[in-house]
């Protein structure tokens, strides 16, 4: 029995093609996916990577061998696949490695209604079937049909955000040679928006920069374009366009926590008293604002499966993560970078102030961003940090790693990576000096491996 633990991750399948992930694994994963879901019909979409088409074809072959019909949506973003699985109410598979380098590819899987599949919700069973060999199908072979869903996807997004009265805007967009190059022109068509495009050519070799906007270096071209063009806003999407990052009119990067607060404010205005989900590393300004607006903030672990589960449990109307993932109840609780972008454009275009002024009230604290440190023993390091800081804390919790809060509104979260020997640190404080001091103290301790 082969071991596929290296490529079956917490939330998806991902690996180097073809040495780790090949068409045979894709075919068997398609077969196992149908057996897990019991579906007689599924839908697939794929990104612009060279390996995506053959992998998607192999997956479809495996699915049809189990008797399921397969709808091929073709090129699309991950949130287009979620739209397909939601609107058609059938399971779906997206072929992408998101922001990973060109040599990688993978599969994001969901059940009907875009319900997530992760290790605890079916992915472990799929892996076990593929490792052991998927049993033969029932004999009837499913059919494969092609269906272009881009126009339907755009129409649905435009029903969720009212853009009818926005003022003309100049918008610089960095698609990173990813799927935003397909979905942005279609979604923005007909809006009073002048698009200043960067890297809209679909190219899975990523010739300009990694399609990973959480890394500041990958936003430099967008920042320069905003400043040079005088754009009102800059938008950056990752490779599969399920995440969106924002740059203001000064070319300054906007924290995803600030965007979470802005969208939460808009959703609560539409549905007063609603529940908003945020993960443990989102700024405390988010739950503060939600409470002020009469909403109910609910805190959860980092990761889309946890966010979506809490949204289902609580009936939340919106959820946000500091990684640039934004989740919407009316989009089957799925994440959509494009839908978040439309909310920001609606907010900006619905009033006359520049974006930086509009967002002033949402940026309340100074944050470090996520900082990774390689460690030999993550558990030991976390225990040592807790021992040092817990005596002077107002609160300590272990919902996701270690979170320590202090009386001056400072807090930090230290949590281990699921896949690498890393500790991830996020620090927030009432001002830059306080945040920086706490950040540097913790990093010095973690990276020395000694208790300070």
pLDDT of the residue at 193: 98
* Listed residue (194, 146, 201) closest to 172, CA to CA: 194
Concatenated DSSP letters of 236-252: EE-TTS--EEEE-TTSP
Give me the catalytic one of 51, 52, 77, 98. 98
Active site residue 417: no
* Listed residue (181, 178, 150) closest to 80, CA to CA: 150
Residue 449 — pLDDT band, cuts 50, 70, 90? Answer: low
Is there a contact between 389 and 439 (Cβ–Cβ < 8 Å)?
A: no
Distance between CA 108 and CA 337 in Å, rounded? 16
345-375 confidence digits (pLDDT tens): 999 999 999 999 999 989 999 999 899 999 9
Structure tokens at 447: 């990276």
β-pairing, 253-254 vs 275-279, is unpaired
373: helix, coil or strand?
Answer: strand
Q: Per residue in 277-288, is it b (16+ CB within 10 Å) or e — as a string?
A: bbbbbbbbbbbe
The separation between CA 111 and the C-alpha centre of its own chain, rounded to angstroms, equals: 18
**138: number of Cβ within 10 Å:** 8
Predicted confidence (pLDDT) at residue 1 exceeds the cutoff of 90: no
Q: Which residue has the tokens 């988010």?
A: 286
112-162 confidence digits (pLDDT tens): 999 999 998 999 999 999 999 999 988 889 999 999 999 999 999 999 999
Q: Which residue has the tokens 């109910």?
A: 296
pTM over 0.85: yes
Structure tokens at 146: 């092609």
12: helix, coil or strand?
Answer: coil
pLDDT of the residue at 419: 62
264-321 confidence digits (pLDDT tens): 999 999 999 999 999 999 999 999 999 999 999 999 988 888 899 899 999 999 999 9
Residue 211 — pLDDT band, cuts 50, 70, 90? Answer: very high
pLDDT of the residue at 452: 38
Residue 451 — pLDDT band, cuts 50, 70, 90? Answer: very low
Structure tokens at 174: 């960095």
Q: Which residues contact 64 (CB under 8 A, 6 or more apart)?
A: 70, 141, 142, 143, 144
Structure tokens at 235: 């938008």
317-342 confidence digits (pLDDT tens): 999 998 899 999 999 999 999 999 99
Concatenated DSSP letters of 299-354: EE-SSHHHHHHHHHHHT-SEEE-TTS-EEEGGGTTEE-HHHHHHHHHHHHHTSSS-
């Amino acid at each position: 029995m082969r071991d596929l633990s290296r490529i079956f991750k917490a939330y998806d399948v991902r690996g180097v093609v073809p040495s780790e992930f090949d068409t045979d694994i894709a075919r068997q994963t398609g077969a196992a996916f149908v057996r897990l879901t019991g579906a007689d019909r599924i839908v697939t979409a794929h990104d612009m990577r060279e390996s995506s088409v053959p992998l998607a074809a192999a997956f479809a072959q495996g699915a049809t061998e189990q008797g399921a019909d397969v709808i091929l949506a073709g090129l699309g973003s991950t949130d287009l696949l979620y739209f397909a699985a939601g609107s058609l109410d059938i399971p779906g598979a997206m072929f992408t490695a998101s922001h990973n380098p060109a040599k990688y590819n993978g599969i994001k899987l969901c059940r009907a209604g875009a319900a997530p599949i992760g290790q605890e919700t079916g992915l472990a069973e799929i892996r076990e079937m593929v490792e052991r060999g998927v049993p033969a199908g029932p004999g009837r072979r499913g059919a494969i049909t092609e269906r272009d869903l881009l126009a339907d996807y755009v129409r649905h997004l435009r029903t969720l955000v009212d853009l009818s009265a926005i003022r003309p805007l100049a918008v610089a967009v960095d698609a990173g040679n990813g799927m935003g190059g397909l979905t942005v022109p279609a979604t923005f068509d007909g809006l009073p928006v002048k698009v200043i495009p960067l890297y809209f050519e679909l190219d899975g070799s990523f010739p300009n920069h990694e399609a990973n906007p959480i890394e500041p270096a990958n936003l430099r071209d967008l920042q320069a374009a905003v400043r040079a063009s005088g754009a009102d806003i800059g938008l950056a999407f990752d490779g599969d366009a399920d995440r969106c990052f924002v740059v203001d009119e000064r070319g300054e990067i906007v924290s995803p926590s600030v965007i979470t607060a802005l969208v939460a404010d808009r959703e609560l205005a539409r549905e007063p008293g609603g529940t908003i989900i945020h993960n443990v590393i989102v700024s405390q300004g988010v739950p503060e604002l939600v409470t002020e607006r009469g909403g109910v903030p609910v805190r959860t672990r980092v990761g889309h499966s946890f966010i979506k589960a809490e949204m289902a449990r609580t009936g939340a109307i919106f959820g946000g993560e500091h990684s640039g993932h934004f989740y919407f109840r009316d989009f089957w609780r799925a994440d959509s970078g494009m839908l978040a972008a439309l909310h920001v454009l609606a907010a900006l275009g619905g009033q006359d102030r520049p974006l930086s002024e509009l967002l002033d009230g949402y940026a309340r604290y100074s944050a470090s961003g996520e900082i990774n440190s390689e460690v030999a023993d993550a558990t030991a390091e976390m225990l040592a940090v807790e021992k040092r800081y817990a005596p002077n804390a107002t609160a300590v919790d272990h919902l996701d790693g270690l979170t320590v809060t202090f009386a001056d509104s400072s807090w930090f979260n230290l949590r281990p990576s699921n896949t690498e020997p890393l500790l991830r640190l996020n620090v927030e404080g009432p001002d830059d000096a306080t945040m920086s001091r706490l950040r540097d103290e913790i990093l010095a301790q973690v990276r020395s491996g000694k208790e300070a």
